[in-house]
């Protein structure tokens, strides 16, 4: 009686365990490869913007609207309280708006990450042999580019409505860089929100709950001396107040005090806490 020898079943056939893509190990990917992955993913995000130019409307229009709204609605009265006129308020307002731009653009990072997960794009990225952090860092790189565009428009509008730069060009560049560093740290918070919330609308709703007290309970729009004592205590510890004060001092050539170092400390602390949490959530999110 003869016997028939069957060939071994191929991997993935019925009755055998399906093969899974190897998970990328953050420590097993070299720096050069990681940078290459970040560059490729950033290019993908830029191509998305090219295909959907309407996604740039917030960057292009938001600085113009805020400048015109606050300068011509509140400029006369607040400028007088500063001991000057509307032009005095422009010099006060523009550095504060630089601090605010990073927060508003950071919100777009959270909604974008949430939308990518809903569409299944992130699931595809997680099957690739790339560092998980590279996907999120590429998002931040592109959003920082959008932030720089918003800054250019904001400064251009500021000069159009009468802003004067009493400091040096290096001080102006320092204010922009400081705002970008702090904005990048805030993006990690909104990435974590985008990975946690179920919908992009929920991310936006939570973002507004967080942003409104931080923005208006600070020195971005008005001096804090006339605020109630309890609110002044809040503004003293609000990192946006430190950032706005630092940007003003750098742009106007005034002594910066500890505001720059406090802003950098806030940015470093937020990044050190939120970035690992966001990457861990990205790994585990289903």
| Helix H or strand E encompassing 98 | helix 86-119
Q: Encode pLDDT of 62-115 as tens digits.
A: 999 999 999 998 888 888 777 777 888 999 999 999 988 888 888 888 888 888
Q: Which of 115-124, 183-192, 247-256 has the lowest mean pLDDT?
A: 115-124
**Which of helix, strand or coil describes residue 189?**
helix
Q: How far apart are CA 242 and CA 238, in angstroms?
A: 7
Position 241 pLDDT exceeds 80? yes
Position 5 pLDDT exceeds 50? no
Q: Specify the pLDDT at position 3.
A: 45
- Residue 10's Cβ-count burial label (10 Å; 0-12, 13-18, 19+) is exposed
What pLDDT band is residue 19 in, cutting at 50, 70 and 90?
A: very low
Q: How far apart are CA 269 and CA 182, in angstroms?
A: 10
User: What pTM does this model have?
Assistant: 0.83
Q: Encode pLDDT of 130-163 as tens digits.
A: 777 888 888 899 999 999 999 999 999 999 998 9
CB 239 within 8 A of CB 182: yes
Q: Would you list the DSSP string of 19-45?
A: P-PPPPPGGGS-HHHHHHHHHHHHHHH
CB 211 within 8 A of CB 104: yes
The set of long-range contacts for 15-22, using a CB threshold of 8 Å and a minimum separation of 24, is: 21/127, 21/128, 21/129, 22/129
Q: Specify the pLDDT at position 267.
A: 95
């Amino acid at each position: 009686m003869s016997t028939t020898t069957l060939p071994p079943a191929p991997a993935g056939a019925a009755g055998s365990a399906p093969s899974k893509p190897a998970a990328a190990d953050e420590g097993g990917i070299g720096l050069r490869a990681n940078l290459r992955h970040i560059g490729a993913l950033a290019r993908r995000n830029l191509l998305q913007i090219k295909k959907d130019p309407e996604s740039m409307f917030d960057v292009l229009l938001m600085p113009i609207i805020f400048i015109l709204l606050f300068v011509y609605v509140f400029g006369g009265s607040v400028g007088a309280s500063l001991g000057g006129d509307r032009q005095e308020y422009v010099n006060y307002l523009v550095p504060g708006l630089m601090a605010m731009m990073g927060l508003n653009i950071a919100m777009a990072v959270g909604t974008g990450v949430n939308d990518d997960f809903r569409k299944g794009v992130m699931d595809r990225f997680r099957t690739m042999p790339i560092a998980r952090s590279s996907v999120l860092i590429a998002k931040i790189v592109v959003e920082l580019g959008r932030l720089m565009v918003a800054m250019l428009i904001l400064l251009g509008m500021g000069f159009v409505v009468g802003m004067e730069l009493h400091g040096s060009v290096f001080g102006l560049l320092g204010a922009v860089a400081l705002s970008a560093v702090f904005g990048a740290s805030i993006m990690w918070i909104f990435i974590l929100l985008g990975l946690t919330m179920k919908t992009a609308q929920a991310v936006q709703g939570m973002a507004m709950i967080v942003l409104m007290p931080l923005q208006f309970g600070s020195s971005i729009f008005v001096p804090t001396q006339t605020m109630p004592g309890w609110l002044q205590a809040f503004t003293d510890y609000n990192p946006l107040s430190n950032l706005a004060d630092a940007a003003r001092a750098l742009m106007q050539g005034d002594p910066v005090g500890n505001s720059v170092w406090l802003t950098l400390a806030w940015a470093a602390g937020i990044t050190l806490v939120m970035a690992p949490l966001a990457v861990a959530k990205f790994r585990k999110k289903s």
